[in-house]
Structure 1
Amino acid sequence: MKIAVIGLGVLGAAVARSLALRGAEVTVFERHAPLAGTSGTSFAWTNSHNKNPRSYHDLNVAGMAEHAALAQHSGAAPAWFVRNGNLEWAEDAAGTERLAASVAELLDRDYPVRWITRQQARELVPDLRLAAPVEHIAHYPDEGHVFPALLVSRLWGEARDLGAQLRCPARVVGIAETAGGVRIELSDGSADADAVVIAAGRWTEALTAAAGHRVPVADPDAAGTATVGLLGYTNPLPARLDRVLTTPRLNVRPDGAGRLIVQGLDLDADADPAAPPAVDGHHAADLIRRLTDLLAGTEGARLESLRVGQRALPADGLTVAGFLGDTARVYTLATHSGITLGPLLGKLAARELLTGSPEDVLADFRPGRLLGRTGLPPLQPARFAGQQ
């Protein structure tokens, strides 16, 4: 079977690999460059926090398990995946109440989480600086983080080894179903396939509309909304941190070679793709102050870059996975949780494309629920920021 995949981020690379493993002839069409979309500006934390309804939580738990399974097949410690856990705490009464409710919900769902003391937290993160009121810390041992470029290199490298081809740059301007399959219209020609997978992140709405089945997504260019957020990338630092920290004022995780990624969710209100903040401006200075308050060994920290991440968000906030229309020729994948779900969605989509059998775990996430809908309420930042 000849299948075209549009987009070479985590989702596109994952589905290309899974299709190639099952013997499909795969061609990926990438408009700009691999990782040019959301995958290249992601906090990349694997988790299932505050992900509701229950089916969405369960899907993300399965996504975390798929990362672990993929890592086991690496033959050595995977360069792209670190599962050292996450620490979270609150510093005021309202935050403590929210965290306690979240932990209780996760415990009810048998999600691995436990309360630990300040001393236990410092044993996990020796350089941790904790504010005086913090006494109880939530520890999520099965959570982790991903280096997106290395994950894509793993997924796409295996697809390429199995014969998958890449056309880049290749701008898709139309998708038309034909008697025998689909035709992908390009800015400089066309290509034919038996089926096509749209894995184009925040460009999903335009491409699905071009295929005649518009799937609405939240505006990825709207400043100060749930779709945008600031990510700072530090210089190499001698701070001992090997896991994710999600704290009241700063989220932080390692980014390799001593660098850290930092995120202050309250600062996302100022995020504007049309006006990225200066790397030496007041937002950067604020992030660095928060970092030095949080971790010893970060004196002299500076940001080497400060990026505006643009999130891929289907209009109701939930994953989209399935065929557009009734012909089983145009399949779309779109999700905010692309890092957590990427390898799993790639595997499930490939099975549905090549076997024709629906995957029950995707039943609540079919694109039909959104097709043609307008007037959906805007998504609120607090629900989505920092979750990948």
Structure 2
Amino acid sequence: MRIVVVGLGVLGASAARALARAGASVTVLERTGPLAGTTGTTFAWVNSHGKDPRSYHDLNVAGMEEHAALARSGKGQLAWFHRTGNLEWAEDEAGAERLARSVARLRDRDYPVEWITPRAARDLVPDLRVPDGVRDIAYYPSEGYVLPPLLLAALWGEARDAGAELRCPAEVVGITEGRGGVRVALADGDELRADAVVLATGRWSEAVTALAGRRVPMASPDVAGSATVGFLGWTTPVAARIDRVLTTPRLNVRPDGGGRLVVQGLDLDAHADPAERPDPDGEHARTLLARLADLIEGTRGARLESLRVGQRSLPADGHPVCGFLGDSSRVYVMVTHSGITLGPLLGKLAAREVVDGRPSELLADFRPQRWEGVDPAELPPLRPARFAGQQ
């Protein structure tokens, strides 16, 4: 089969890898460059922490296991997946009740979680400063984080090894289905013919699916303070002992290699605006760094090398969209907010569906056909993540 993949983020690279390894002739079209979309600006927390309904939770659990399997299979690759666990706590009564409900629900689903003491938490993260009054900390040992550039390098490298080719820059301006396959028109006037097209275009999915005469409604990634936007800061190298994810009431933190940390304050996201480049020495940066110093010993004096506004890929109802557009089995779309957690799995499942025609039961609730006859304007607005564990 000749297959065109549009987009070279984690989903596109994963699909290209799986398709090429299945024997397809794969060409990837990327408009700007690898990591140009959400894959390059993400907290990259691998989890199934607050994922509802149950089918979404189960899909993310399978995604976590696919990460582990992929990491075990890699040879001679830099470590991109770190399954070192996540710590979370609450600092007020309302937060404690939310966390207790979440832990109970996850335990009912047999998701690994346990209550530990602050002392046990400091054994896991020696430089952790647990606020006074916190007695119970939720520990999720099966969660972890990804270093996105290294994950993309692993996926795309194996795709190239299997014969996949990249055209970049290449902007798609038309997708036309016919009896003999699909024609993909490019902005430079060139045209590619393929048996199938896989769209992995993230927050641009609504516009790109419209080129194929269909529409996957997306929450706008450009609305300031909305569910789709948020600040992410990358620190200078710090002399602190932390190798795990922390999701706390005032700050989320994960390592990013080389002594650097990624920091996120969900309450600050109300001020995030994609139209304004945040100042890495400005007010929000100072707030993030002050919270970091309160949370982790050895981080006082750190600076932010970068402060960015991330733009999430959110379908209009908040849940993934994975499957063929229409009945022709020619144009396949996959887009999800949980792109890092689900990327390796969705690429593998998409390849099976495209090449072998084997539908995945895991994706049954996430088909694009659910939008037929639905007016997205009638859906309730997506709620921004403002509390630890929500995103």
| In structure 1, C-alpha distance between the alignment counterparts of 2:338 and 2:208, rounded to whole Å | 20
Deviations along 1:190-233, one digit per CA (max 9) or x if unpaired, are 11110000000000000001101100000011110000000000
- Cα pair distance change 1:7/1:328, threshold 3 Å: same
| In structure 2, C-alpha distance between the alignment counterparts of 1:75 and 1:180, rounded to whole Å | 39
Answer yes or no: is 1:65 the counterpart of 2:68. no
Deviation at 1:283, TM superposition (A): 0.2
Deviation at 1:248, TM superposition (A): 0.3
- Cα pair distance change 1:386/1:147, threshold 3 Å: farther
| In structure 1, C-alpha distance between the alignment counterparts of 2:389 and 2:171, rounded to whole Å | 30
Counterpart selection for 1:377 from 376, 380, 387: 380
Q: CA RMSD in A?
A: 1.3
Deviation at 1:377, TM superposition (A): 2.1
Name structure 2 gaps, 5 residues minimum.
Answer: none
Deviation at 1:383, TM superposition (A): 7.7
| In structure 1, C-alpha distance between the alignment counterparts of 2:76 and 2:53, rounded to whole Å | 36
Q: How much identity, in percent, do the aligned residues show?
A: 69
Q: How many residues align?
A: 388
Deviation at 1:374, TM superposition (A): 2.8
| In structure 2, C-alpha distance between the alignment counterparts of 1:90 and 1:328, rounded to whole Å | 47
Answer yes or no: is 1:177 the counterpart of 2:180. no
Q: Secondary structure at the match of 2:385?
A: helix
Q: Secondary structure at the match of 2:132?
A: coil
5 Å matches for 1:136-151? 136-151=136-151
Name structure 1 gaps, 5 residues minimum.
Answer: none
Partner of 2:347: 346
Q: Is the 8 A contact 2:45 2:146 kept in 1?
A: yes
Partner of 1:259: 260
| In structure 1, C-alpha distance between the alignment counterparts of 2:333 and 2:224, rounded to whole Å | 26
Deviation at 1:373, TM superposition (A): 3.1
| In structure 1, C-alpha distance between the alignment counterparts of 2:182 and 2:383, rounded to whole Å | 37
Deviation at 1:49, TM superposition (A): 1.1
- Cα pair distance change 1:214/1:384, threshold 3 Å: farther
**TM-score, normalisation: structure 1:** 0.98
Amino acid at match of 2:109: R
Deviation at 1:308, TM superposition (A): 0.4
Q: Is the 8 A contact 2:216 2:315 kept in 1?
A: yes
Amino acid at match of 2:340: I
Deviation at 1:343, TM superposition (A): 0.3
Deviation at 1:141, TM superposition (A): 0.3
Deviation at 1:277, TM superposition (A): 1.5
Partner of 2:162: 162
| In structure 1, C-alpha distance between the alignment counterparts of 2:7 and 2:210, rounded to whole Å | 16
Q: Is the 8 A contact 1:125 1:240 kept in 2?
A: yes
| In structure 2, C-alpha distance between the alignment counterparts of 1:309 and 1:9, rounded to whole Å | 14
Amino acid at match of 1:297: G
Q: Is the 8 A contact 2:249 2:387 kept in 1?
A: no
Deviation at 1:355, TM superposition (A): 1.0
| In structure 2, C-alpha distance between the alignment counterparts of 1:97 and 1:3, rounded to whole Å | 49
Q: Secondary structure at the match of 1:230?
A: strand
Amino acid at match of 1:222: V
| In structure 2, C-alpha distance between the alignment counterparts of 1:70 and 1:99, rounded to whole Å | 31
Partner of 1:206: 207
| In structure 2, C-alpha distance between the alignment counterparts of 1:14 and 1:72, rounded to whole Å | 16
- Cα pair distance change 1:54/1:328, threshold 3 Å: same
- Cα pair distance change 1:174/1:314, threshold 3 Å: same
